[in-house]
Amino acid sequence: MRILNLRKTMTYIILIGIISLAVIIRLLPMRWGVYLDEFDPYIHYKGAMYILENGFSSWFSWFDPTRWAPWGTDVPKSAQLGPPFTGALFYIFLKQIGINVTLQEALAFFPILSGAILTLLIFILGKELVNSFVGLFSAFVFAIDPTSIQRTGLGFFDTEATGLLGMFISLVFFVKALKSKTIPYAIISGLALGYMVICWGAYLYPLNFLALYTIVLVLLGRWNFRLSIVITIISSIAMFSMALSPNIGIYAAISPYTAAPMTSFITCLVMAATSFIQDKNLRRKVVIGGVFSIITIAIILVLSGVLGPIAGKFLLFVNPLARLEAPIVGTVGEQFPATWAAFFYNYHILILLAPAGAYFALKGMKSEDIFIFLFALMAVYGAAIYIRLLIIVAPAIAMLSGLAINNIIHRFTKKEATKSNTKSKKARAKQLGRVYGIIILIIIAAGFVPAVYSSIRASSRPVMLVSGCTGYAASINDWIDALNWMRDNIPQSSIVGCWWDYGYWINVIANKSVIADNSTINGTQIKLIAEAFLNDENYGLEIFKMMRVEYVVVFEPWLIAATDPLIGLPPWSVIGDFEKSTAMMAIAGYDVKNYIGYLPLNVGGRTINYPLPVGSKASSTLLYKLLFHPFREGYNKLLGVYIEPLENFELVYHSNNYWVLIYKVNYS
């Protein structure tokens, strides 16, 4: 009894240490100040602010004329309600318990709390599926995982910080519901998944994962009434939440996206109906025929389009080659497919351990083993399509690796024990097995040293706004100063033109109307903006006039060369509008060779073929005229690169490093 209590005590001490580590790492950016990070958190901040000022019910009828101007945006139909509602409630809660913070500060710290809770939930899930060791190991991996740190770090109040809470609460109580307190735990699991539905579009991952897991258990002969009750309750609540969500709707709730949950539900009904057949052989034949018939019908309905089309980002999960027909998806960084380099950078030694875990899972074939294997398999496939989903891979691959370590240590101990015949030999063998186990753990721990170091180093940086949109570990005020200037000097009624990447910042921080933003919901308008930037000034002027644009903002983090006159080189290592012009070309269907070519430059004593605007159309391209305007003389005299002068655009502001340039449009 004392040994068991000591083990529990040690487990919880280690768990507290892991959670503390997770919190400390995620707080590192605080030394540069408390801000929201990246871009998307700002629109959730605006939503929470709107709710606090106008009431929760007002959100459902909110039409925002300042986004995607001049047409405006129907917010409930285009955005998740979960993050802004969660942010507003969290702010109210802090106020009620006497913590006086601003709304922005509350939202900035919420992801830290989310990361701590998620670390605990992942421990519980690993413990329920295998044991405390796997739980602790999985929690530790999540605590130091670079993607998890980024998405649950200071200021990153986005869909993941809220939606992941719903996902892992749902998974924990799903596993618990299969063991005891079936209906109460299933309801909690369903409600948590319903919360994820209103927070994050990745809700389809756990919804379909649980359905697939159920179908696999049925095919393996592991069905029972408890499984039917649990999956029915969870799927019903989740699909009901989809139907009620303004941005999802009932058509998505009954569609190809939910074909797997519907199939699992009907399969469980068939199993329940056939369980009363007394003849075992007849029951087995009916079950096999019924289950495969249901699966076949479901596949036919999906492929024939009876349940509706599979479109947008979801199509890529079914057909990754469809990315070639979706140029906007291909230009959004978080929607890139994950490379092997990304997997190795994030998971290090886990890449070697996970296949061993898969082997042990398939060999053991316990229900818990199947859960872990499918969880990891679907997570890796999802991340291979969208790099943003790497955050789901970390706990999944950690559990699979933890299963491998657990089995390896157990086998060493068991192997040594079977060699002995006497008590003394048995004791020595047991001790030797423990030594082997400790050695294995030391080797694995050593493999995590570079992972911990790289995670701490990567997270010790200011938020994107403070670093000037570079990710550097330094304060660069170009964007902060430019946004403040826009807020104070551009008339409130004016519409600002820019590439969509900066839309949320200009709309929320500078409080100005923008023609596009980071939601990328209007592909037609994005293409028009790309065409405006990539054609000559008169062509772009007509498009901006149609959109009633009065100011245009461009960004490039120049490498300033100490020449006379000055020259700014686009860095390419940090993405500004010159680098993004290649994405604009992909969207507009233009050939990059007409815009960008290679010019030999002497850089640091070496001749480098540097990509610059030397294509046949480059000199008259509006975007390049706007970007290179401050350096026209230097490019012309020193590099022989001619950029035409601007005629209808007046430079009214430039940031300290000339990174952010603001032009007033003169139509007359």
DSSP 573-585: SS--HHHHHHHHH
- pLDDT band at 535, cuts 50/70/90? very high
- Right CATH for 478-665 from 3.30.1380.10, 3.40.50.12610, 3.90.870.10, 3.40.50.300: 3.40.50.12610
Q: 529 to each of 2, 520, 614, how far by Cα in Å?
A: 70, 12, 22
Distance CA 82, CA 159 (A): 8
The larger pLDDT score, comparing residue 379 to residue 199, is at 199
Residue 423 above 60 pLDDT? no
Q: Which pLDDT score is estimated for 514?
A: 97
Residue 328 above 60 pLDDT? no
The single-letter DSSP state of residue 445 is: H
The larger pLDDT score, comparing residue 197 to residue 6, is at 197
Q: What is the mean pLDDT of residues 420-425?
A: 52
Q: Which of 485, 530, 475 is nearest to 505 (CA)?
A: 485
Distance CA 285, CA 6 (A): 51
Q: Which pLDDT score is estimated for 438?
A: 66
The single-letter DSSP state of residue 508 is: I
Q: Which pLDDT score is estimated for 415?
A: 54
Reported as type and span, the H/E element at residue 603 is: strand 597-603
Neighbours of 53 (CB within 10 A): 9
Indicate the burial class of 2 (C-beta count within 10 angstroms; 0-12, 13-18, 19 or more).
exposed
Q: 215 to each of 82, 311, 402, 495, how far by Cα in Å?
A: 30, 25, 25, 53
The model carries a pTM of 0.89
589-618 burial: b if 16+ Cβ within 10 Å, else e: ebeeeebbbeeeeeeeeeeeebbbbbbebb
Q: Which two tokens stand for residue 182?
A: 């079936």
Residue 16 above 70 pLDDT? yes
Q: Which pLDDT score is estimated for 56?
A: 95
Residue 329 above 60 pLDDT? no
Contact 75, 59 (CB under 8 A): yes
**Strands 513-514 and 495-497: what pairing?**
parallel
The dihedral built from the CA positions of residue 626, 628, 631 and 635, taken in this order, carries a sign that is negative
Q: What is the mean pLDDT of residues 578-586?
A: 93
For the packed helices 280-304 and 259-274, what is the interaxial angle rounded to 10 degrees? 160
- pLDDT band at 548, cuts 50/70/90? very high
Residue 425 above 70 pLDDT? no
What are the tens digits of pLDDT across the range 454-463? Answer: 777 777 889 9
Q: What is the mean pLDDT of residues 64-84?
A: 95
Q: What is the mean pLDDT of residues 607-632?
A: 94
Neighbours of 79 (CB within 10 A): 23
Contact 576, 559 (CB under 8 A): no
What are the tens digits of pLDDT across the range 445-499? Answer: 666 666 677 777 777 889 999 999 888 888 999 999 999 999 999 999 999 999 9
Look over the chain and give the mean of its residue pLDDT values, rounded to a whole number. Answer: 86
Distance CA 143, CA 116 (A): 8
What are the tens digits of pLDDT across the range 175-228? Answer: 999 998 889 999 999 999 999 999 998 898 999 999 999 989 988 888 888 898
Instruction: Quickly tell me which residue has 């089995």 as its tokens.
Output: 407
The single-letter DSSP state of residue 131 is: -
The dihedral built from the CA positions of residue 106, 112, 115 and 119, taken in this order, carries a sign that is negative
Q: Which pLDDT score is estimated for 427?
A: 53
The larger pLDDT score, comparing residue 345 to residue 646, is at 646
Considering only 191-195, 387-391, 431-435, 603-607, which range has the smallest mean pLDDT? 431-435
Q: Please list the residues that pair with 553 across neighbouring strands.
A: 662
Q: Which pLDDT score is estimated for 435?
A: 62
Q: What residue segments make up the domains of the chain, in order of their start?
A: 478-665
Q: What is the mean pLDDT of residues 24-51?
A: 94
The rounded percent of the chain whose pLDDT value lies above 90 is 56
Contact 588, 527 (CB under 8 A): yes
Q: What is the mean pLDDT of residues 507-532?
A: 95
Helices marked H in 501-651 — which ranges?
Answer: 503-504, 523-534, 537-546, 577-588, 622-627, 632-634
Residue 239 above 90 pLDDT? yes
- In three-state form (DSSP H/G/I as H, E/B as E, the rest C), the secondary structure along 291-348 is HHHHHHHHHHHHHHCCCCCCCHHHHHHHCHHHHHHCCCHHHCHHHCCCCHHHHHHHHC
Q: 622 to each of 626, 636, 656, how far by Cα in Å?
A: 6, 17, 23
